[in-house]
Structure 1
Amino acid sequence: MSLSVIFNKSVLVGVVCLAAISASAYVIWGTRSSEPVPERVTGGEVKRVISGDYIKIEPDGRVKYAGINVPSAEDPLGAKTMELNRKLVDGKKIRMRFDETEKDKEGRWLAYVFVDGEMVNKRLVAEGLAYVRLKAGERRYAQELLAAQAEAREAGLGLWEKPVRSTEPRYPGDRKHGAFHRPACADVANTRPGNEVVFRNKQEAFDAGFAPCGHCRP
């Protein structure tokens, strides 16, 4: 057998072995399963009320109420919001419905929470203890929530006890985050192109489902 034939056979064997290794690698990497998609949550039992719009349930963990924004713990109305939320849901079985965005950046479920057929998110707004805040992906019940807010404002409840007064010539808003600001607020510069909106007064912002910025507090 000539040297050239031996060389060609060696090359052929090498190519076959390389192909086999490549095929094996393809099988291992190509069939690697992706992370499972979490199942849609439909309900659970409330084990702890953390704030006016934040609870823990079993079996699925932490839940943040979608479409609304409640007063901070430092606000005089914060304690009332917490008290009502506890009264409505603590220790009870709830049903949850979801919007386009099912979880926030902290990994909490974003949900419209129902107890005995009543939407808790809407009840807090109707009592004047929460603003409507229609962030991107949280607008499923926009009309219901805005109607409840208008009624609470008309009745002068909670957050609406004092008339809405505009002290700035305009109020820049961010459609993605559903918030409006004072013109000098540092957060205005963080609004991405296409998400900007400007309101002539605070009333326009509230009617559109925007809540006051927590930093500049317009």
Structure 2
Amino acid sequence: MRKIGMLIAILLMAGCSDNELNGLSGNVTYVVDGDTLDVKLEDGTVERIRLLLIDTPETKHPTVGVEPFGPEASAFTSQLEGEFVELELDVAERDRYGRMLAYVWHDGEMFNEMLLEQGLARVAVYPPNTKYVDEFRAIENEAKNAEQGIWSVENYQNEMQNDKPAEGCTIKGNINSRGDKIYHTEGSSYYDQTIPEEWFCTIEEAKSAGFRAPK
């Protein structure tokens, strides 16, 4: 059991119920793709859920089309259809599309983590929801080293690093060879040549994530 799962077990043994820990629960009624699904909550409402801190390859994007391992990611998540899941929220509850943002738990395992382990997703950081980012990066690195899934595709990592940011989020977060976390705004000297590992909408978000301005 990984670090996150061990933490959950400890909390449960300490007397925290599943509902207290994960907040919401219900049954999966439909899987849109690898990182998006519909859940009918126990109060009868249906929420579209976007899995937090990960991004799976596209299968239905109007311009990108079907990406490598997109169908595999969708098929992997489809095993949740009809299953009971628990939803753990982070700081921001919804994205700009109104979807609920959550870590999805099934049978005591975090499904976001499982997709990363299989190489069917990459880490995608959108502050302030960064609760498990360090753990997720460690799992992603293991999948990369094992050339699992998407990481078996030549140049996949370099291509994904150049993804366009969300609208209005143009601050680049980069980690240099010494491990320094530095953010670059559009007016920074090295902005154009900087390859972003994270995108931020505001300087405050970048600082909250541990990034500093360039010297």
2:58 pairs with 1:72: yes
Residue number in structure 1 paired with 2:120: 129
* Equivalent residue for 1:100, pick from 83, 91, 109: 91
> How far 1:210 moved relative to its partner?
3.9
* Alpha-carbon distance in structure 1 between the residues aligned to 2:87 and 2:131: 13
Amino acid at match of 2:77: N
2:49 pairs with 1:63: yes
Aligned residues: 152
* Equivalent residue for 2:150, pick from 152, 159, 175: 159
> How far 1:159 moved relative to its partner?
1.2
Residue number in structure 2 paired with 1:50: 32
> How far 1:163 moved relative to its partner?
5.6
Q: Is the 8 A contact 1:181 1:188 kept in 2?
A: no
Amino acid at match of 1:118: E
Identity of matched residues, %: 26
2:188 pairs with 1:196: no
Q: Would you tell me which structure has more helix in proportion to its own residues?
A: 1
* Alpha-carbon distance in structure 1 between the residues aligned to 2:27 and 2:50: 14
> How far 1:166 moved relative to its partner?
8.2
Q: Give unmatched runs, 5+ long, in structure 2.
A: 1-21, 60-65, 182-195, 200-215
Deviations 1:185-217 (A, max 9, x none): 7x699545xx3334669xx99xx9649xxxxxx
Residue number in structure 1 paired with 2:100: 109
Amino acid at match of 2:32: I
Q: Is the 8 A contact 1:132 1:210 kept in 2?
A: no
Q: Give unmatched runs, 5+ long, in structure 1.
A: 1-39, 169-178, 212-218
* Alpha-carbon distance in structure 2 between the residues aligned to 1:188 and 1:92: 32
Q: Is the 8 A contact 2:57 2:67 kept in 1?
A: yes
2:177 pairs with 1:181: no
* Higher Rg: 1
Q: Is the 8 A contact 1:71 1:77 kept in 2?
A: yes
Against the structure 1 CA distance between its residues 128 and 54, is the aligned structure 2 distance closer, same or farther, given a 3 Å change threshold?
same
Report the aligned-residue RMSD.
Answer: 3.3
> SS of the residue aligned with 2:75?
helix
Against the structure 1 CA distance between its residues 113 and 140, is the aligned structure 2 distance closer, same or farther, given a 3 Å change threshold?
same
